[in-house]
Amino acid sequence: MKKSGILIEMENNRVKETSLGMITLAARSDAELFALVLDGVDDAICDMLGRYGITTVVDLGLPSDPEVRLNPAVRADAAAKAARNLNLDTVFGLSSADGKDLVPRVAALLDAPLVMDCLDVDPEKHIARTSQYSGKVLADIQLTGDVVIFGIRPNAVQPVPAPAQPRKMEMAWNNPAVENVGLVSWEDGEDGGQASLTEADIIIAGGRGLKNSDNFSLIFDCAKKLHAAVGASRVAVDEGWVPYAFQVGQTGEKVSPRAYIACGISGSIQHFAGMKTAGMIIAVNKDENAAIMANCDYHVQGDLFEILPELIRQL
């Protein structure tokens, strides 16, 4: 029987919804499903993973010391060793902020082919669908090899329960030789609660129409009420209103939220490259001729300085 490993991401000691979606995707083949957990396993985590079809929960046994556990080189080393020891045929990980620094490392260590940012995968034929050329092209890529790896775009697949009774397995962690790269400090942002851009269900993004960095607080306030992540157009980051990490677009993050609310964003080709796969696009813009008004699901022609405060008030 084939074996698939799924690199599980956690948040606040709970399995991320986007990780559960990966399990649903992996379950399209009849492979045995192993959850590879890097941040500790308890009964609740086992139950949650079992509910979506995992048959073996593997605790990679990383130490809790964050300097070690958060180091992507350490994480990749543990994941690659597990893939070898378990003789996995396929490894799935998320193409999330953390996944982009983990999944390619695992692929490099295993010298295995990888497609990142998969919108869909056929786990039997090992064909992945991903976007290329700034979101203008869909490419179907066939992987061959002893082990093949897929980095899945968060929210590409919605999780579907498929109950299994998982067994638990522990891997011994033996201090790997990654002393050539040490994690010395980490910063989780002023607002640790801000949903990660690539994984958010809702994104509210601001552009030129916000006019300055002070006004951008309207977007942040609205995001808080919506439990949404904040995005920005290239203009907003180039002007320094928000850091580059907030940029959605061809040179920023590629996102697929269920709803994307674009405020004061004209909708350049480069911006669409980052968000055209959103489930729903709502545009708020003063200019009814802005490109985004013709390529969205709903548009509001109006002054965002009136509409956003109303939204905040009503939420």
Partner 1 sequence: MQIYVCIKHVPDSAANIHILDDIRIDEKVAFLLNPYDEHAVTEAASLKQKVPDSEIIAVCLGKPDAEKTIRSAMAMGADRGILVETDDVCDSMTTARVLHAAIVQDGSADIIFTGKESIDSEGMQTQFRIGALFDFPVVTNAAAFDITSGKAVVTCELSGGRTRTFHLSLPCVVGAGRGLNTPGYPTFPDVVKARKKSIKTISMDNLSITPATGSAKTVALTPLEQKRYPKKITGNSADQAKEIIRILRQEAKVLT
Residue among 106, 197, 192, 198 at smallest CA distance from 152: 198
Q: How far is the CB of 186 from partner 1 (least distance, A)?
A: 5
Are 52 and 23 a contacting pair, CB within 8 Å? yes
Are 212 and 206 a contacting pair, CB within 8 Å? no
Q: Which is nearer to partner 1, 109 or 164 (CB)?
A: 109
Q: How far is the CB of 16 from partner 1 (least distance, A)?
A: 14
Cα angle 46-49-53, degrees, rounded to a multiple of 5: 125
Q: How far is the CB of 1 from partner 1 (least distance, A)?
A: 21
Instruction: Please tell me the distance from the alpha carbon of residue 187 to that of residue 106, in angstroms, as a whole number.
Output: 24
Q: How far is the CB of 9 from partner 1 (least distance, A)?
A: 12
Q: Is the dihedral of CA 285, 303, 222, 98 positive or negative?
A: positive
Checking DSSP bridges between strand 148-152 and strand 90-94, what pairing results, if any? Answer: parallel
Written as six digits, the tokens of 127 are 């064909």
3-state secondary structure of 235: helix
Are 198 and 253 a contacting pair, CB within 8 Å? yes
Q: Which is nearer to partner 1, 43 or 188 (CB)?
A: 188
Q: How far is the CB of 290 from partner 1 (least distance, A)?
A: 11
Q: How far is CA 12 from CA 39, 48, 185, 189, in A?
A: 10, 14, 20, 15
φ, ψ for residue 129, nearest 5 deg: -110, 130
Instruction: Please tell me the distance from the alpha carbon of residue 290 to that of residue 119, in angstroms, as a whole number.
Output: 28
Q: How far is the CB of 36 from partner 1 (least distance, A)?
A: 18
Q: Which is nearer to partner 1, 172 or 177 (CB)?
A: 177
Q: How far is the CB of 203 from partner 1 (least distance, A)?
A: 10
